[in-house]
Chain A
Amino acid sequence: MGNVPTTVKHCLSYEQLIEDYPWLRRWLQEDKTITGHAYPEFVKIVEVGPRDGLQNEKEIVPTGVKIQLIDMLSGTGLSVIEATSFVSSKWVPQMADHTDVLRGIQKASNVQYPVLTPNLQGFQDAVAAGATEVAVFGSASETFSKKNINCSVDESMLRFEEVINAAKKRQIPVRGYVSCALGCPHEGHIEPSKVAEVAKRLYEMGCYEISLGDTIGIGTPGSMLKMLQRVMKDVPINALAVHCHDTYGQALPNILTALQMGVSVVDSAVAGLGGCPYAQGSSGNVSTEDVLYMLHGMGIETGVNIAKVIEAGSFICSALSRKTNSKVAQARSTACCDESL
């Protein structure tokens, strides 16, 4: 260190480093660690069951049931519940009652109820119905974008820009989603740089958070790590969330990897609602109950009461006449002994 000016030596001290670069604290294991990794102390769960979950269920759920589900979820401690989608009912009949749902739910004061708004029309309808937060869905795959919303990624960004600008005028926060972050049903492998490009655009346009979605659940901790490493170069880690599908059973290890990288927002769906439209009969969204079980078991706080989520899950599964996809809910309902740990 002999050639380093005295004035600069001060800034090379460890304590000064930590103060100047808070991200370093995590890298240097100041926080709680398991296996040498620092984990967030708190994880925010974004509950997507009522929208992403129900949207992918075949049976049309009555409005009253949707409202009851959301009201039950509002009482569990969840702070974000994706309530519905202002998309054309011609495309998504399940969400045709979007206005009635948004107006019918009991909005808890400490809960946000984002709604999907694919375009300006949807946004205006959402605002008229009382929406206070919206979401837009981009894709890291050109083919998926064309097949899903009938336009290229660039064209979709122009649409979203209109929504985001309109939202800014009304001070309505916008969450951005990037689909196919770990693979596309049409294109196969997706380059992490493409995911980063789309995430960065959404972030720079004004989305406060970008949820990276493994749309077909094909990702593993290996591909999750590579993708996040690349995206984190362009979007701050505290603005990132992961939306993992459990189609190949990889959701929890993928989420664990994301937590190890510093992500502290996780999307999930009560009872694992919502299958995979690309693999008939397979599961889709990861179950909120299973995610909570893992997080709580690691000493990570979420503010959510798992027993109440299980109840909400049980309610919606009865209404849908289907079994839960949550292993925790299945085990708890039949376990002969109380294994609460």
Chain B
Amino acid sequence: MATVMKLVHRSALTSLMGQHCLSFSSAAAHRAAGIRAGQALPGKVKIVEVGPRDGLQNEKTLVPTEAKIKLINMLSESGLSVIEATSFVSPKWVPQMADQVEVMKGISRKPGVTYQVLTPNLQGFQAAVKAGAPEVAIFGAASELFSKKNINCSVDESLQRFDEVMKAAKEAGVPVRGYVSCVVGCPYEGKVAPEKVAHVAKRLYSMGCYEISLGDTIGVGTPGSMAKMLEAVTKEVPVSALAVHCHDTYGQALANILVALQMGISVVDSSVAGLGGCPYAQGASGNVSTEDVVYMLHGLGIETGVDLSKLMDAGAFICRTLNRKTSSKVAQAACKL
């Protein structure tokens, strides 16, 4: 070795040796392959726009039906392929969604765009189908306490309710998307075990949901907890059937989404203008802004099909209607430059 080193300057060997050595050491090659896989990002990401439902549901000001319809129509023109339009929940509980039927009937349905609606139970499902909903969604929770406080029943009881919806949906040929709330933390229980999230996600998937959206309901997740949770869930549900629904309450949403993409997730929920605050932290933000997500994805060379400037127009419209500032940093910066 010493003889060789005298003949050839050590530093000149560095890159050459590095490359050759990697291929000769099987352990090194395996690990190097693991890194490449970890860094591979999807070429396309589907954005599920939840502003008109999840966003508006968490805004205090009641929005007139025509404004909701106009918002959805503007979003339809921006290139989004999935828009959560409304919720067939009792208006007694969610007054903002009382005009659910008028909204469904009033929107211009653009071909190629899916208009999902929330259906918490069989009655809601039946009303949704009658109003022409082509796709529905059901919401489970990974936290028992959250389930009890939010929908007044245990996680198991809620899954039984959803079973009825699933059966009816199958008969009607209506696809169902499943949501799991509190996937990294619960406002009541604190930490949530990744195995619990995996269990609920698996049940929804086995029941027939084509996609499971994993929601960081209070935005407490970080790339650390997000990765641990996704590792557990991807053991039970194929990654192609998973989506992430990150809240930006602690500013972590985009970093969490990036990690999810690195783990193979290619469906991201977000809300135009970051509509919808956090009901558990007054004044704090909730949903991540679609504009900020699209900006990041396009910067990464990932296709979304979304026209950012049309999206910002829709955000500007709804913020004027609500008389509030956008929560999107991209929208704030772009109009000031």
Contacts and interface: CB of A to CB of B under 8 A. Distances in A.
Interface of A: 1, 5, 7-8, 10-14, 17, 21, 24, 27-29, 33-37, 185, 217, 219-223, 246-250, 252-253, 255-257, 260, 276, 278-283, 287, 290, 293-294, 296-299, 326-328, 330-331, 334-339, 341
Contacts of A33: 38
Contact of B1 (A10, A17, A34, A220): A10
A293 B295 contact: no
Given A10-B1, A222-B301, A341-B190, A253 B250 contact: no
B20 to A, nearest CB: 7
A339 B188 CA distance: 9
Contacts of B39: 36-37, 260
Contacts of A327: 248-251, 284-285
A43 to B, nearest CB: 13
Contacts of A341: 184-185, 190-191, 220, 225
Most buried by A among B25, B250, B295: B250
B188 A35 contact: no
Contacts of A337: 187-188, 280
Nearest to B25: A14
B57 to A, nearest CB: 18
A290 B219 CA distance: 12
Nearest to A337: B187
Given A29-B31, A35-B227, A293 B250 contact: yes
A279 B222 contact: no
Contacts of A21: 14, 18
Nearest to A18: B28
Interface string B294-309: 0110111100000000
Interface in B268-310: 278, 280-285, 289, 292, 295-296, 298-301
Contacts of B18: 17, 21, 24
Given A12-B24, A37-B35, A249 B255 contact: no
B127 interface: no
A290 B222 CA distance: 10
Contacts of A223: 299
Contacts of A10: 1
A223 B298 CA distance: 11
B113 interface: no
B332 interface: yes
Contacts of A247: 329, 333
Interface string B188-229: 101100000000000000000000000000111111110100
B4 A280 contact: no
**Chain A to chain B: the 8 pairs with minimum beta-carbon distance, closest first:** A36-B38, A220-B299, A297-B222, A249-B329, A327-B251, A298-B224, A249-B292, A290-B251
